Amino acid sequence: MSARYASIGVVGAGAWGTALANACARAGREVMLWGRDRDLIAAMARTRSNPAHLPGVVLADDVRPTADLAALAGMDAILLVVPAQASRAVAAELAPHLAAGTPVVTCAKGIERGTSLFMTQVLGEACPQAVPAILSGPSFAADVAAGLPTAVTLAARDPGMAEALATALGSSSFRLYHSADVRGVEIGGAAKNVLAIAAGIVGGRKLGASAGAALIARGFAELMRFGKAYGARAETLTGLSGLGDLILTCSTAQSRNYALGLSLGQDEGLHPPGKLAEGALTASVLVAMAQARGVDMPIARAVEAVLAGRSDIEQAIGSLLARPQKAEA
Ligand SMILES: NC(=O)C1=CN([C@@H]2O[C@H](COP(=O)(O)OP(=O)(O)OC[C@H]3O[C@@H](n4cnc5c(N)ncnc54)[C@H](O)[C@@H]3O)[C@@H](O)[C@H]2O)C=CC1
Ligand SMILES: O=C(CO)COP(=O)(O)O
């Protein structure tokens, strides 16, 4: 069945796109890797590396970089690996080159601002002839590129398609579990980034490991409430793409979202500059969507208030600690 997906087009030559291109090559796929920056793509083809986004990683022989989206026409499946807020524009540019029924797997973690749409819903609008799917889970690009063991979830509404794609892209070091709970997978990836900023703030303020663990557990309670309100399955939220990714991203400054929170917690502002921290872009839309369905998300709300400049760190921490004591569940 995996022969159906012998060729994979990866759209987006940042850290994650480059790592996924290598992972697909490792799984025996023929891979084309598209990036919008012609100079960068030419340099990647020449040097077989992407030092700007993924230093120290050699591009696998079976990965062909291209700056021409039309070159991806005829690929058996596409991985869309650009930031969440750029996904609509890039998917629309890609759409004319896709045959009807081509799976397009979004690998971005976020919710579209302005429309409050999840990533596969954005794909459905921008690329209506494609079949949307999602890949998400605890996986730093550097780890995947280095061939360290990782496990993620690939979800598509059609379970057979999810299984076939997972079989085609997986290898012994890059394990893909399959699922039909598309909504659950996209909610976990979007929400955990916002909560990771809070975890970074706790780290930056040196509130202690106990506070860090409490933050993860109470953050997960928020993620569960939001997920249930928006139709996710509980087993998905407690799986790799929910709890798994929340633990990873809340645990280390290797995460850009955690690193941003760390910097805020140390009163150093929004650092490091120029690094993509999806949680900073998702926070306001996540909080608005929670409010719209009456979901209580005090930690996400505190992060949003800090990012919007309506609250300083001390006020945000104070407001969380001043909440009335209540039953845990
Ligand atoms: N880096 C990681 O470890 C992981 C990242 N992700 C997710 O993957 C997505 C992409 O992240 P990264 O690759 O890490 O980011 P990155 O910052 O390394 O690369 C982003 C890429 O997208 C391109 N891009 C940005 N705006 C664009 C536009 N309008 N049109 C075309 N291309 C555009 C940039 O040129 C760059 O090549 C994010 O949603 C992130 O949450 C998911 C799992 C792991
Ligand atoms: O999503 C990720 C790991 O699963 C990457 O996290 P950051 O975007 O915070 O670096």
The band of 1, judged by pLDDT with boundaries at 50, 70 and 90, is very low
Residue 210 Cα, ligand 1 centroid: separation in angstroms? 32
% pLDDT > 90, the chain: 93
Q: Is 16 known as a binding-site position? A: yes
Q: How high is the pLDDT of residue 329? A: 84
Which atom of ligand 2 sits closest to the CA of residue 139?
4
194-232 pLDDT, tens per residue?
Answer: 999 999 999 999 999 999 999 999 999 999 999 999 999
Ligand index nearest the alpha carbon of residue 10 = 1
CB 8 within 8 A of CB 31: yes
Q: Is 276 known as a binding-site position? A: yes
Please give the average per-residue pLDDT across 30-46, as a whole number: 97
Say whether pLDDT at 132 is over 70.
Answer: yes
Ligand index nearest the alpha carbon of residue 241 = 2
The band of 323, judged by pLDDT with boundaries at 50, 70 and 90, is confident
Q: Which residues form the catalytic set?
A: 192
Residue 249 Cα, ligand 2 centroid: separation in angstroms? 6
Question: How many angstroms separate the CA atoms of 229 and 233, rounded?
Answer: 10
Query: What token pair was written down for 261?
Result: 């929170």
Taken in order 120, 146, 15, 271, the sign of the CA dihedral is positive
Q: How high is the pLDDT of residue 2? A: 40
67-82 pLDDT, tens per residue?
Answer: 999 999 999 999 999 9
User: 1-12 burial by CB neighbour count: b if 16+ within 10 A, else e?
Assistant: ebeebeebbbbb
Residue 153 Cα, ligand 2 centroid: separation in angstroms? 15
Query: What token pair was written down for 5?
Result: 């997906």
Which atom of ligand 1 sits closest to the CA of residue 54?
18
Residue 280 Cα, ligand 1 centroid: separation in angstroms? 14
Say whether pLDDT at 321 is over 90.
Answer: no
Ligand index nearest the alpha carbon of residue 199 = 2
Any ligand 1 atom below 6 A from CB of 279: no
The band of 116, judged by pLDDT with boundaries at 50, 70 and 90, is very high
170-193 pLDDT, tens per residue?
Answer: 999 999 999 999 999 999 999 999
Cβ atoms within 10 Å, residue 275 = 12
Please give the average per-residue pLDDT across 38-42, as a whole number: 97
Q: What is the mean pLDDT of the chain?
A: 96
Say whether pLDDT at 114 is over 90.
Answer: yes
Q: Is 88 known as a binding-site position? A: no
ipTM of the complex: 0.99
Question: How many angstroms separate the CA atoms of 160 and 164, rounded?
Answer: 6
Name the maximum alpha-carbon separation found in the chain.
60
Say whether pLDDT at 307 is over 50.
Answer: yes
Q: How high is the pLDDT of residue 3? A: 59
Which atom of ligand 1 sits closest to the CA of residue 13?
37
Please give the average per-residue pLDDT across 90-114, as a whole number: 97
The band of 272, judged by pLDDT with boundaries at 50, 70 and 90, is confident
Q: Which amino acid type is present at position 315?
A: Q
Q: Is 193 known as a binding-site position? A: no
Any ligand 1 atom below 6 A from CB of 53: yes
Residue nearest to atom 27 of ligand 1 (CA): 86
Any ligand 1 atom below 6 A from CB of 278: yes
Any ligand 2 atom below 6 A from CB of 257: yes
